[in-house]
Amino acid sequence: MNEFVFSDIHIGLEQSFEATVSADKLDKFLEISGDNNPLHINSEYARHKNFPDRVVYGLLTSTFYSTLVGVYLPGKYAILHSIDIKFLKPVFINDQLKIVGIVSYINEAYKQIEVKAYISNQAGVKVSKANIKIGLIDE
C-alpha cells in the first residue's frame, strides 16, 4: 500500500494497476447489491440485446476506483470525498483492465486533491472515466 502524504503529492503524479473481473465477482456483487437485472446475470438475454455476453456491473468495475484511491493514490492516508463516473463502454468477464489515476488539482487550504482517472481494457479502449476528490489525513 502506498503512503503518500500531502507534501508528496504534485500535479501529474500518476499511479496505475491492473485487474480483471471474474464471474465469481459478478455473483458476489449480485449478492451484495441485489441488482438482478438480466443484462448482468443472463448470458442469453445479453446476447439477445446484442452484447457478446453478460455485462459487468458498472459499479463493480468502479470498485477499482476505490482501490486506486485507498491503496495507490494516495493510499493509506486517503479519505474519499466524491467520485463522478462516466461509463463509456461495456466491460465483460475476464477483460484485462488497467486502472490509471493522475493528480490534476491540489487544494492547499483543505488538503484535498483531485484525480482524473480512467479504466481501459485489453484493447486500450477506455471503458470508464472518473473525476475523484480525495482528502489527505496524514497529519
Partner 1 sequence: MNRAQIFEKVQEIFRDIFDDQSLNINDATNSDHIDDWDSLNHINLVVSIEKEFNIKFNFNELSGLKDVGAMIDLIVEKIEK
Contact set with partner 1 (CB under 8 A): 81-82, 105, 107-110, 112, 114, 133
Q: Which is nearer to partner 1, 82 or 94 (CB)?
A: 82
63: CB partners within 8 A, 6+ apart: none
For the bound state, the minimum distance from the C-beta of residue 109 to partner 1, rounded and expressed in Å, comes to 5
For the bound state, the minimum distance from the C-beta of residue 132 to partner 1, rounded and expressed in Å, comes to 13
For the bound state, the minimum distance from the C-beta of residue 131 to partner 1, rounded and expressed in Å, comes to 12
For the bound state, the minimum distance from the C-beta of residue 72 to partner 1, rounded and expressed in Å, comes to 22
DSSP for 41-110?
H-HHHHHHTT-SSPBPPHHHHTHHHHHIIIIISSBTTEEEEEEEEEE-S--BTT-EEEEEEEEEEEETTT
What is the distance between the alpha carbons of residues 6 and 8, in angstroms, rounded to a whole number? 5
Q: Which is nearer to partner 1, 126 or 133 (CB)?
A: 133
Query: Are the C-beta atoms of residues 101 and 132 closer than 8 Å to each other?
Result: yes
Q: Which is nearer to partner 1, 31 or 108 (CB)?
A: 108
Q: Which is nearer to partner 1, 75 or 135 (CB)?
A: 135
